[in-house]
Amino acid sequence: MTSIYRKALGADFERLHPKLQWRFGFSSIDETCQIGTGVMDEVWRGPWWTLPFLLLGSTRRVLFPSRGRRVPFTIANYAYVDRFGRETVTWARRFDFARRPRAFDATMIYSKRRDTIVDYLGTHQHLAVDLHCWVDDEGAMCIRSGEQRFYEGPVAFRFPLMFSGVANVREWWDEAAACFRIEVHVANKLVGPLFGYRGSFTVKEHPCPVADVPADVLPVREEHRE
């Protein structure tokens, strides 16, 4: 199996900083996982009128309304093959706020048909989001969300982008501090900034046969529609 990010970037994958190639280059055949720990210098949310959207998302581990500074953070990336035979990578993010922990989960595949990464957000993969990836001049991984689709049983529809949150993500390696850094910014065309965070973390790789992927990072249901 080839890394889904290598498939998405093609030859540009080699332009990533070597640490980013390691981070985004593993797949289920490697039988490893990556666990990152660090601190988000800031986790923020939009004005009060964005709260209903964020509260709804928090019920399925998609965004949340909490905010703070110096928030302890972990991220768990496991690679496995889902029940539809697709190479899949988990992004299980945990934010340890003083009042209550928050979770932000996603599972990603590479869609040959759509020729891009598809990010299934939350515990039930109700929301499928196209992710457009590129490498900037400093060797960072850059991601911008595109078309978004909702799936539940027989219900399927595409979200108009004006009602969707558009995410911009940049992850890079800080040579001086010897850590990964990340910035995430989610905004809506109509209401403005919704949610985001920025901070740093380090990552350790561990042996992990596919059978040992923890149930807590796996989706409750898997959606075959891309």
Distance CA 48, CA 156 (A): 30
User: Which pair of structure tokens corresponds to residue 138?
Assistant: 């400093």
H-run or E-run covering 24: helix 18-24
Q: Which residue ranges of the chain lie beneath pLDDT 50?
A: none
Of 123, 57, 68, 60, the closest CA to residue 100 belongs to 68
Both structure tokens of 200: 């740093």
pTM listed for this prediction:
0.93
- H-helix or E-strand containing 147? strand 141-152
Q: How far is CA 107 from the centre of its chain?
A: 7
Q: Could you tell me the two tokens for 47?
A: 């004005």
Partnered with residue 151 across adjacent β-strands are 156
